[in-house]
Amino acid sequence: NGSIVFISSLAGNVIASKGNSAYCASKSAISGIVKVLALEQASRRIRVNCILPGMVKTEMMGSFLSSLTPEQLGEDEKKYPLGYGKPQDVANAAIYLLSDASMWMTGASLVLDGGFSLQ
C-alpha cells in the first residue's frame, strides 16, 4: 500500500482567469497525470490523488497580497466564505490523503478553497 499526493490549484481545474494560461495549463496537466497514475498504480495498491487549493496565505503569496490596498485585500478575501486558507489547511488535507482513512480514494482532485468555488 502507498499514497502519492500532488498539489495543484483551482486555476485551470475549477476556475480560469485571463492572462493566466500557462499557469492554468500546467496545473490542469497535474490533474490529468493524477488520473492516469491512479489507474496505473492501482494494481500495486498505490493511491494517487491531488489537492486543489484556493488562496493560501504563504510567504510566496506575501508579495502579491502586500501589493493590494487593505480595501482590495478585504474585498478579495470576502470571495472566500471561510477566508483565505493557511498552509496547515493544505497539510491537513494531505495528511488525510496519505492516511488509511482515504484507503478507497484514488484519482481524485480534492477542492480545498474555503467555499470560493461555490460562488
Give the active site residues.
23
CB–CB of 86/77 below 8 Å?
no
Grid cell locating 5: 499526493
Q: Do residues 97 and 70 touch, judged by C-beta distance below 8 A?
A: no
Task: Say how many CA atoms lie within 13 Å of 43 toward its Cβ.
Answer: 2
Helices within 7-51 (DSSP H only): 21-41
